[in-house]
Structure 1
Amino acid sequence: MNKILLILVFALGYVLGARAGRKRYEQIREKAQQLWQADQVQSAVHSAGDLLENAAERVGEKAGDVIGKARSKGRDA
């Protein structure tokens, strides 16, 4: 009996939460989209992208230097 009652209570809570939750979910989603499209956020996103591009270029350059040094040491040995 306790398992059946628990399942029924869970099912009822799920159904009621889903109905009320959809409206709230839409409100949260709309606010999140507005925030994402804000000029300050987009500016920060582009700045972060530029920073990552520069970092990736520097890492690539350093990796090339390390590989070149390793090859020259291999030839010398």
Structure 2
Amino acid sequence: MRYKLTFIAGAAVGFVIGARAGRERYEQLVRAGQAFVQNPAVRNAAESAAQQSRTAAVRAADTVVVKVGPRLPEPLAEKVRAMRNGSAPEDDWGTSNT
């Protein structure tokens, strides 16, 4: 999902940079983008998606531990333990932190 959003953002930036409609169109696109990002529904959806992805990551980590167990490489095992303990660093991408 993160890569899809990155692609969409890149496409939007490319369109803005490549737009030949002039400064007015650029300003219009910037205002529309700011209005979209600051929309409470969009913020709530982003926060909800971030929380769901964290929950899915913890479930996936549990599944990996059950299936792979002690054969897990140590650096990866440390990351899995950190996620299961809730001490993994938070990813603030896409959340408003409000």
TM range (shorter): 0.5 to 0.7
**Percent identical residues:** 31
Q: Which residue of 2 aligns with 1:49?
A: 50
Q: 1:33-44 residue pairs with structure 2 within 5 A? A: 33-44=34-45
Q: Which runs of 5+ in 1 are unaligned?
A: 1-16, 72-77
Structure 1 residue ranges, 4+ long, deviating more than 3 angstroms after superposition: none
1:9 corresponds to: none
TM-score by length of 1: 0.60
CA RMSD after TM alignment: 2.2
Rg larger in 1 or in 2?
A: 1
Which residue in 1 is equivalent to 2:64?
63
Q: Deviations over 1:23-77 (max 9, x none)?
A: 1011111111111111010000000000000000000010011112869xxxxxx
Which structure's residues are more often helix, by fraction? 1
Normalised TM-score (structure 2): 0.48
Q: Distance in 2 between matches of 1:28 and 1:70?
A: 51
- Structure 2: which 5+ runs fail to align? 1-18, 73-98
Q: Which residue of 1 aligns with 2:25?
A: 24
Count of aligned pairs: 54
